[in-house]
Each structure stands twice: as structure tokens, then as C-alpha cells.
Structure 1
């Protein structure tokens, strides 16, 4: 079985699971959508995702249940359990407590940061990690339109996970892991969505890498800090935000390179600004095709 065929079979199973999260899912149904035997599907699914199909389904259901408990007022634990195909309140509570170290009832009342399971599509991972070097060799800028605006970022705190040496996303994943995003997305008090960050030396501890991941919080935040994370303060600053065109999800690598090329050649002085890389971290949002890739770099208004 060719590698690409295996990847696409697992991707079909991931898509089926995503579209049937609140329904019973059988191994036969997964095998039918993948086009191979149940035994073979189970084997290749674990090979590419690191989990058996039913461990994967349970972890994903528990994470979606956690978000529902976090975000919806007056929701009943038993209703959430039934929504995500758990047989009983007790079974759901045991599974939730084992996964996150807190009961669903306590979590719904005062949600701390937890490690949500937020898997990437294996197709995207394959196209970047397995073919990244070849795609770099043939990279050519393809973007036509970029939307640019300057926004104000207030004084705020940043819950951040450092790496020891990583300077970019893939090196960060190799060093720290790719499950940090799940923790960041669980923080209820977040001002904005989680970000990948290029941190200036003035904001990071010695012996840490330039690239990190984090989430911005109100400046008066005094809640829990996820294990292994730090909480630092960031001053107010201006950010010049670059947003590219919508793209097909599997082409996100191209979208990222396009925007980075635009930023590298951009001249903010033409519009009354200058780069101010020590005023705050440069950051990127999660590449999502429907909105285009978004990256931001600190700027200051130039003196007249």
C-alpha cells in the first residue's frame, strides 16, 4: 500500500469521525469509508495518528464535551454525556476525570487550563512534514492580494510555553510536541485565539528558543497557569497585520510562505510606520483556509 493511499484512507476516517461525533461510530463504518478491511484500517489509523480509532474518538468527544461544559451556561453534565454518546453520567465522569484530572462538574464551575485533544488532519501533516523540503525547493510566490491593517494591542499577559532552541513552528513541534494548542484553546479567559510567536530576547528567559506558542489574557488575570507554562506581561503596542487570500486547507504551507515573503519585502515607512520588533512578539494565527493566513509584526508610528 503506497504511503499516499494510506494517508488518504486515514484522512477519510478522520473526516467521517468529525462528521459523526454525536452518533455511534463502528469500525465497520470507518472501514467502509476508508475502503479497506476493519483490521487494516485500525492498524494504519494507529500508525498515522498514534491512537486506535476508538481511543481517538473518545479523546475527541471528551475534548468537545469539555468545551461545551466550559462555554455553555446551566448545561447539565448528564446531557453532555448523552450528547457525546456516553452510556451514563458515571461512565462519562470517570472518563473525563481520567483524561483531564478534574470531574466534569467541577470543571464546568471553574475551568482551569486542560490538555484538549485537537488532532491535525493527517493529509496536511503529510504534505508539510513529509514533503516540506521538496516544496521549499519549488516554492514560488503565488499570492495576488494581501489585506494590511494596523491594530492596537493593549497591555496584557501571555501564558506561554517555551522551547529550548526552536526558531520556527516545525522545530517547536519536534522539541515541545504538537499538543500545546489543545491547552491554549482550553483557557476560558483568553482575549484572542492562541498564537504562534517569535519572541524578542527582551521578553524571553535566557536559554530559550525564539519561537513559542501562547495565549493572551487580561492584564489583571490571576487564574491558574497550565503546568509547564509561564505567565509574562506584555506592554501595549501596535501590530501591522497581514492577511492573505482564502486557500485550500491542504495548501496552507504555500499560504504561509506567501505572507512571509510579503512581510519580508514590505516597507512600512511608506505609510508612516517603522518596524518595532522589540515592542512585542511577532505572531501567527492558525492557518485556516476560509479566512486566509494571518501574521502580524510590531510597528511604531514614525515621528513627523
Structure 2
């Protein structure tokens, strides 16, 4: 005999599994909430708090991730048929939604892009905010280098949109002038303490004279010495974990180091083997300091 989930966390996991198994059904917030035994308002609030996205945003993203797999696995599948299978009223609406999630068109995705990075943004598991952070024992000196990618200014109201820059970057890779390491960088600079705003780039290492794709910028990172923090992820949604890690780094660890910050960009460094859905995967956050 099946045992009913005994906690809300268990109930939420069961509902996420149920949604995944019924993506072909005409799902609505009301229908999902009724299945969970809660009002739409209550279920929406608790789902968003635990998963880091709304119920229907989760449904749409999971449908599109499944569609992306089908694009790769079935080269003869027509886009219009896939659009209708995913619940869209037209191929055009499907394409617009696909581009918002993956940063590239279905046709270009089919010609060589992987689904894995988006699984990291829209996983089936709840965001646990449980990334572990440790300060590496030695300062790290790096020579100057250059990155290229999409960038914009964010503040506290819209910084949750940062993952959109990563979809744009991933959709353009590889491009001419990209360095062989495939290291990628989340670069922060121009922090305005009064406004609480900052510039952020999702970038990849490039040759200094590279010509980036249209809409991308070049960002020169000067030679600097860095205090490095290693962030270990747990396989759930990446952005909420990094947000929690940054709160600890800037609120506790940087002040405790006793070091003076340098006027230079800081950055997240993801190596070429970074796999966001693998528990235990790491990234290094570099904070420039004066020696």
C-alpha cells in the first residue's frame, strides 16, 4: 500500500513528480492546486518559495526542456507538431517561448546545443539554498584576461533575471575568438551602493582582439590578486544557491578576512566541465584585494 507524503516538502516533491508525469495534460494552476489539496493562492505561494519560480513557469519550462530533448533525438520532427504537443497555439508562440528559455531558436538548438545548462535553471528538485562556501587558504594572482558576453545593469528588484544572460551566452557558443578552455565567468563591476545596482556579464574567455557576436560586449579583466571562495552546489537550482552564498561571502567572510578590496571586477569562475545538476560540483568566486 502506498504511503502518503507526511510533510509539505514530501508533498511538494510528489506534486513535482506528478506534474512531470502529466506534462501532456492541459495543466492549470487551479487543477494542480486541487490535486495538492490546497487553494491556488496557498499552493502558488509555497511552491514559488520552495522552487524559486511560479507553478506555471515551472510547467512551461519543463515542457520546453522536454521539447528540446525531442528536437535533438528526432531530426524529422516538425516544429509545428512539437508546438501543438507542448500546448502552444502556434509555432510562432512556441518559438518565442523557446528563445526566452534557451537563448536561441529551436532550429539552431537542434543543430548542436545541449539541454543540460537549462536543467540547472529549471530542475525538478526544489531549491535548497544549501550551497557550502569555504575560503581557500591562499591568495591567487592572475594575469589580465578578456571575456565576452551579454551584460546589463541590475538592482535588487530585477537581479533574479541574471540567468537570462546565461541563456543568451550559451545560445551563442562557440564563436570565433573563444579561448580553448571553455571557462565561463559571471563578472560583476560598477557597484552603486546608493542605488544597490551593479553591472553583470555572463561571459566566456576570448582572445583580446576577438570580435564578439552581435549584442555581446568585451570586458577586460586587469591583472589582480584575489581572495577565492569555493562554492559547492547541491544539484538544485543554481541561482538561488549562488545568491545565498554571496550573502554569506559579503556579509561574513570578506569582512572577517581583514583584507582591503581592490577597485577591480569580481567574478564567478565556472570551468569547462561545470555540470550544474551534479551534487558536489564547485565554482570559485574571485574577490580582488590589495596585497
Please state which band the TM-score falls in when normalised by the shorter chain. Answer: 0.5 to 0.7
* From 82, 94, 97, the counterpart of 2:95: 97
Aligned-residue Cα RMSD (Å) equals 5.5
TM-score by length of structure 2 reads: 0.54
Could you tell me whether the CA contact under 8 Å between 1:244 and 1:255 is conserved in 2? Answer: yes
* Pairwise CA distance, 1:57: 1.8
The higher-RCO structure (CA 8 Å, 6+ apart) is 2
Where 2:212 maps in the other structure, the secondary structure is coil
Task: Count matched residues.
Answer: 243
Which runs of no fewer than 5 residues in structure 2 stay unpaired? 1-5, 175-181, 271-275
* From 261, 272, 282, the counterpart of 2:266: 282
Could you tell me whether the CA contact under 8 Å between 1:13 and 1:34 is conserved in 2? Answer: no
1:146-172 deviation digits (Å, cap 9, x = unpaired): 334526362223421113xx3xxxx1x
Which runs of no fewer than 5 residues in structure 1 stay unpaired? 129-142, 269-274
* Higher relative strand content: 2
Alignment of 1:1-304 (within 5 A): 8=9, 11-12=12-13, 15-16=16-17, 20=20, 24=24, 35-36=36-37, 40=39, 44-45=43-44, 49=48, 53=56, 56-63=58-65, 65-66=67-68, 76=75, 78=77, 87=85, 93-99=91-97, 100=99, 103-109=105-111, 118=121, 124=127, 146-148=135-137, 150=140, 152=142, 154-163=145-154, 166=155, 171=156, 174=157, 176=158, 178-188=160-170, 189=173, 191-193=182-184, 195=186, 197=188, 199-200=189-190, 210-217=197-204, 218-219=206-207, 220-225=210-215, 231-238=217-224, 239-244=226-231, 252=241, 255-260=245-250, 261-266=252-257, 277-278=262-263, 280-284=264-268, 290-291=280-281, 294-299=284-289
* Pairwise CA distance, 1:284: 4.5
What is the CA–CA distance in structure 1 between the aligned matches of 2:10 and 2:265, rounded to whole Å?
A: 39
* Pairwise CA distance, 1:60: 3.2
Could you tell me whether the CA contact under 8 Å between 2:266 and 2:287 is conserved in 1? Answer: yes
What is the CA–CA distance in structure 1 between the aligned matches of 2:197 and 2:265, rounded to whole Å?
A: 10
